[in-house]
Amino acid sequence: MTSFSGHLEEANTELAELKLQVMTACSYIKGECSRDGNYDGNLLDDWQLSSYELAFCMAELSAAAAFIDYAQKSTTQKFTQQLALSFCAETFQAVLNRLVARATDIGLDRAKLLDIHVSATYRVLLDTYASSEFLSNLGSEIAGNDIQRLPSMLSEEKELVRETFYRFTNEVVMPLAEQVHRFDEDIPDEILQGAAELGCFGTCIPERFGGLQPDDCADSLSMIVVTEELSRGSLGAAGSLITRPEIAARALLSGGTEQQQQKWLPLLASGETLCAISITEPNAGSDVAAVSLKATPVENGWLLNGSKTWCTFAGKSELLVVLARSNKDSSLGYKGLSLFLVEKPSFSGHDFNHMQSGGGSLTGKAIATIGYRGMHSYDLFFEDFLVPAENLVGEEAGEGKGFYFTMAGFAGGRIQTAARATGLMQAAFERALSYAKDRKVFGSIIADYQLTQIKLARLLATLTAARQFSYAVAELMDDGVGQMEASLVKLFSCRAAEMLCREALQIHGGMGYAEESAVSRLFLDARVLSIFEGAEEVLAIKVVARELIEKSM
């Protein structure tokens, strides 16, 4: 009889075949977007649905690959291998169904795809590891042994970091999370100060600037581990604390002058200066190149005029990293943008008005949202707001390079958002498992019912796949690659978080819909993940699919 490890090898074979089909479809689209043998990316807008579907196919297959790799390393963990095989079987089925449905559009041979469906290897995977009996047995084991997470396989050092923030989340964040959400309050000082004392804000800043990251190498994995644990407590009040200093730090390290780095990075690392990132505008969401906030040069710096929106944490922050158009020639697109360090006082509450002595002003008003509360996201309006010349990132050499400096932080923001999604999933799964073991319906606890058991198995499998996918991408990014994978893991994890939190709420029944139940907050928070740090559609079509198609043969 074939062992579980043998079936994992067979799953790898099926994975390779399905990835080949995805790339074959990408090659077909590339051919259809070529004229006289020359590829024209502008024609891709006629292929948006196919691009969107193919991007998600690759994201899901990449998550399966990460799970397989993790399970193969856990050679003594029978349950881990079984869970990985169940995830792969259901993922492969979903991807294959999507490809079959779009076969005519994307130039694939539907008969060949159906041959995969009836192949002996594929049939064994599906019939064995996606059967109701197998899945319910996994769920029964999860409930019976209270399996809340699988072994991380982190190093001893990283596990110590995780455990430190796990305790902080349990002791400080969780007792405050519901209050912040239900009354739309500011992040309490207990969380901000405690996180700062643990070095939270310096996870992506080199040690020479007072951060926790080694000077001689990147350490994205520590950032992910910390983000996961904080997000498990609250996405809005803790899980996103690292995001803004991380993006700011990457921009400064990418294009800031030595003086700017020496001034700002230690302040960001210590949490002494809180920061926000201001990119989005009312008429320029994910289309960063369309930014129009005016930056006009004057004798002693730059005057900012115009609006920004969705600037998260702008009230409490003393530093705003603002992308603005420094060259009035709009035809330059992203080449006419510069990045500015805007200083302001810290304000509590939902609105503020900062007047400069010279007459300039910056006003902000929080946008009412259904979730992701605590940090507050603001509409901003700049009127003749003076920014000193030394606060242009890169100073004179940085003019017109703001887009590139901003992009340096976005890949990190995407993988961190995947980690936020994983933390949210962990919290939702823990609550769903606990409730399923306690709640009785028709005389039995709901964890004893087949459908609940299958749900628990699927949820833990999805959670584990997201976690191990993000760990794998972190290693790639620390090696100087992994930009595409960072986009893929965000696509997969954010969509997965919505599904998982929905199912966790469903397991709670009516109590899940009550505000007093934490799972209702998790459900609302999960919805934002596919929107910020690169909206799902833009990321899938304009980033992932575009690159897959351009690199196809």
Give the pLDDT band of residue 413 (cuts 50, 70, 90): confident
Helix (H, G, I), strand (E, B) or coil at 486: helix
Residue 436 in this model has a pLDDT that exceeds 60:
yes
Is residue 115 included in any domain, yes or no? Answer: yes
Is residue 301 included in any domain, yes or no? Answer: yes
Q: Model confidence over 26-45: pLDDT tens digits? A: 999 999 999 888 898 899 99
Residue 385 in this model has a pLDDT that exceeds 90:
yes
Number of domains in the chain: 2
In the chain, the percentage of residues whose pLDDT exceeds 70 is 98
CATH number at residue 33: 1.20.140.10
Q: The whole model's pTM is what?
A: 0.93
Is residue 438 included in any domain, yes or no? Answer: no
Cβ neighbours for 416, distance < 8 A, ≥ 6 positions apart: 223, 224, 227, 242, 243, 246, 533
Residue 2 in this model has a pLDDT that exceeds 60:
no
Residue 225 in this model has a pLDDT that exceeds 50:
yes
Query: Per-residue pLDDT averaged across 475-481, rounded?
Result: 88
Is residue 85 included in any domain, yes or no? Answer: yes
User: How many CB atoms sit inside 10 A of residue 192's CB?
Assistant: 19
Please give the residue range of the domain that contains residue 51. 4-130
Reply yes or no on whether 159 is catalytic: no
What is the chain's mean pLDDT, rounded? Answer: 93
Residue 1 in this model has a pLDDT that exceeds 50:
no
Asked whether the beta carbons of 362 and 382 are under 8 A apart, the reply is: yes
Of 74, 104, 130, which marks where a domain is finished?
Answer: 130
pLDDT at 89: 96
Is residue 96 included in any domain, yes or no? Answer: yes
Is residue 482 included in any domain, yes or no? Answer: no
Q: Which of 53, 228, 498, 533 is catalytic?
A: 533
pLDDT at 328: 84
CATH number at residue 327: 2.40.110.10
Side-chain-side CA neighbours of residue 53 (13 Å): 20
Of 62, 97, 130, which marks where a domain is finished?
Answer: 130
Cβ neighbours for 219, distance < 8 A, ≥ 6 positions apart: 203, 212, 213, 478
Is residue 139 included in any domain, yes or no? Answer: no
Of 117 and 510, the structure prediction assigns the larger pLDDT to: 510
Of 130, 146, 171, which marks where a domain is finished?
Answer: 130
CA 294 to CA 300: how far, in whole Å? 16
Is residue 19 included in any domain, yes or no? Answer: yes
Longest dimension (CA), the chain: 81
